[in-house]
Amino acid sequence: MTPRPPTIAQTLRDGTAQLAAADIDGAVSDARILLMHALGIDRTGLLSRSAEAMPAEAATRYAGYLDRRAAHEPVSRILGHREFWSLDFALGPATLDPRPDSETLVEAALAAVSADRSLRVLDLGTGTGCLLLAVLHERAAAFGIGVDRSEAAAR
């Protein structure tokens, strides 16, 4: 008799245990995010499909993600994107991760110029462009240019 593949719920429990054993802070959350990405589903899909068998291809992807995370690679690097100012930014080897504390720069820029005034922004060393694009997202009439010395980062 062929053994049954684990359910999605069991796969999540096992993934959480693997990350916890590697001393990953937020093991539960990270395991869930990586599993949703491996399956290509959102949180609702994860909950509604938890009793289903884990698909083999997704299990292989998930195992790779878990190994990378257990080696302390950030989730954003594993997934290749990160949210900043409610916008999603692609990451690459030449870019830095947008950090939540950098949102204070966006807040300061927006606070410095009233919403009814024109705004021009020059972002030097733009990387992902997250700072510039966050400001432009908030001020539709604003104009901005982002430049980076690294062609790879600016892509």
pLDDT tens-digit series, residues 84-107 = 999 998 888 888 888 888 999 999
Tally of residues, the chain: 155
Q: Are residues 108 and 135 in the same domain?
A: yes
Q: Are residues 111 and 89 in the same domain?
A: yes
Residue ending a domain, among 79, 105, 125, is 79
Asked whether residue 153 carries a pLDDT value surpassing 80, the answer given is no
Would 119 be classed as within a structural domain? yes
Name the pTM for this structure: 0.77
Parallel, antiparallel, or unpaired: how do β-strands 81-84 and 87-90 relate?
A: antiparallel
pLDDT of residue 117: 83
Q: Are residues 23 and 65 in the same domain?
A: yes
pLDDT of residue 3: 79
Here the CATH number for the domain that contains residue 28 is 1.10.8.10
pLDDT of residue 1: 67
Structural domain span for residue 136: 81-154
**Residue 7 vs residues 16, 101, 118, 131, 134: alpha-carbon distances, Å:** 14, 38, 55, 41, 40
